[in-house]
Amino acid sequence: MTVGVALNASDAENQVDASVGLAREAAAAGLRSAWFGQTFGADSPHLAAIVGREVPGLQVGTSAVPVFGRHPLIVAGQAQTAQAATHGRYHLGIAVGTKLLTETGFGLPFERPIARLREFLTVLRQLTEHGTADFHGELLTANTPVPARVPGAEGGVPLLVAAMGPQALRASGEPADGILPYLAGPRALERHIVPAVTAAARAAGRPAPRITALVPGVVTDDTDAVRARATEQLAFYEQIPSYARVIELSGVRRASDLAVIGDEKAVAAEVRRYRDAGATEVVFTSTEIAGDADRRRTWALLGELA
């Protein structure tokens, strides 16, 4: 199992410079990967490419680019460019996204998300592996009258999906290399998520999928204050049906109940629980809810575990 961290420097004076600085610190602590979320701000594939270029040896990834409001030709070009920039250390995560952000932000109807995910993945696989596409689906069309290959990105780009529900897991098992579940506790992983995606991959004749579990967590002595901030920060996800379901399957009531907060011994024990539940990689998120001292303390522990 490898251990990584999600970097969020959106409050910095310069997000790119700050992300590079955080990534260097994470790599020095022994962490293996750095991941970047995608909303309406910084472009995460570009940010990952810059960070990966500046911090040699660190794996970088996007978690995750929504399929609504984007076309796979554009996303494949971004991913291949990031892969060439990092010499094979980029990992592309995609997601269905949410009805709220899709319809409010893009003005697009959030319709047939699983069908769109399947088609998007099919085209991405063609483009990232072969640099060409000839796809005419129900929702997407992708043709390459000129090559879409990026020299330096040979060998493809690992494709991961932020999938947790049964339909999304089935759709991810065949064309994707793995999944990026967030706010899915060990119980939900072991009983529901890992068996479903593994069965889908096996049925498609593919290797066992990567399970990259994104986990909010902080090593701290001030557990009450940090958990209170986590409760405020994570409450948004409780309004989204897919997250509400996986929170319930995890056997807890609030999203913040899944935050791993405590001293080194307690946090290390929780990371082991994720490993035992089937996670092949654990990525800590939400370290920005703590101060710099607790963040460094968290990364030091994760570096040891890596």
User: Going residue by residue through the chain (306 aa), what tens digit of pLDDT does each one get?
Assistant: 589 999 999 999 999 999 999 999 999 999 999 999 998 999 999 999 999 999 999 999 999 999 999 999 999 999 999 999 999 999 999 999 999 899 999 999 999 999 999 999 999 999 999 999 999 999 999 999 999 999 999 989 999 999 999 999 999 998 999 999 999 999 999 999 999 999 999 999 999 999 999 999 999 999 999 999 999 999 999 999 999 999 999 999 999 999 999 999 999 999 999 999 999 999 999 767 888 999 999 999 999 998
179 token code pair:
């999944």
Q: Domain check: are 122 and 237 in the same one?
A: no
Q: Identify whether the C-beta of residue 76 lies closer than 8 Å to the C-beta of residue 94.
A: no
Nearest to 60 by CA among 38, 83, 78, 94: 83
Reduce the DSSP state of residue 136 to 3 states and report it: strand
What gap in Å lies between CA 163 and CA 154, rounded to an integer? 26
What gap in Å lies between CA 244 and CA 183, rounded to an integer? 9
Residues spanned by the domain of 106: 1-161
What gap in Å lies between CA 77 and CA 248, rounded to an integer? 37
Q: Domain check: are 192 and 96 in the same one?
A: no
The per-residue pLDDT for 1 is: 59
The per-residue pLDDT for 65 is: 97
**Which among 131, 161, 191 is the end of a domain?**
161
Q: Domain check: are 121 and 253 in the same one?
A: no
Q: Domain check: are 10 and 132 in the same one?
A: yes
pTM for the structure as a whole:
0.95
**Which among 110, 142, 161 is the end of a domain?**
161
**Which among 130, 161, 192 is the end of a domain?**
161
What gap in Å lies between CA 267 and CA 259, rounded to an integer? 10
